[in-house]
Amino acid sequence: MALQSKKKNKFVKAWMQEHVNDHWVKEATRLGYRSRAAFKLLELADKDKLLRPGMSVVDLGSSPGSWSQVLHEKLGPRARIVAIDLLPMEPVRGVRFILGDFRQDEGLLAVEAALEGRKVDLVVSDLAPNLSGVESADQARSVHLGELALEFSRKWLQPGGDLVVKAFQGEGFQEFQRAMQGHFDKVYARKPKASRDRSREVYLVAKGLRSQSVQIAEIAG
pLDDT at 132: 80
Domain hosting 23: range is 1-31
Q: Are 3 and 71 found together in one domain?
A: no
Q: Are 165 and 95 found together in one domain?
A: yes
Q: Which residues contact 24 (CB under 8 A, 6 or more apart)?
A: 36, 39, 194
Q: Are 132 and 153 found together in one domain?
A: yes
- Catalytic residue from among 7, 119, 166, 207: 166
Provide the 10 A C-beta neighbour count for residue 183: 19
Q: Which of 20-34, 149-163, 187-201 has the highest mean pLDDT?
A: 149-163
Q: Are 57 and 25 found together in one domain?
A: no
Q: Are 15 and 113 found together in one domain?
A: no
Question: Does the structure show a pLDDT above 80 at 4?
Answer: no
**Lowest mean pLDDT, pick from 16-25, 58-67, 124-133:** 16-25
Q: Are 196 and 123 found together in one domain?
A: yes
Q: Are 153 and 109 found together in one domain?
A: yes
Q: Are 212 and 129 found together in one domain?
A: yes
Neighbour-count burial for 104-117, b at 16+ CB within 10 Å, e otherwise: eeebbebbeebeee
Q: Are 53 and 97 found together in one domain?
A: yes
Alpha helices in 22-134 (DSSP H): 23-31, 37-48, 66-75, 105-115
Indicate the pTM of the whole model.
0.86
Does the annotation count 166 as an active-site position?
yes
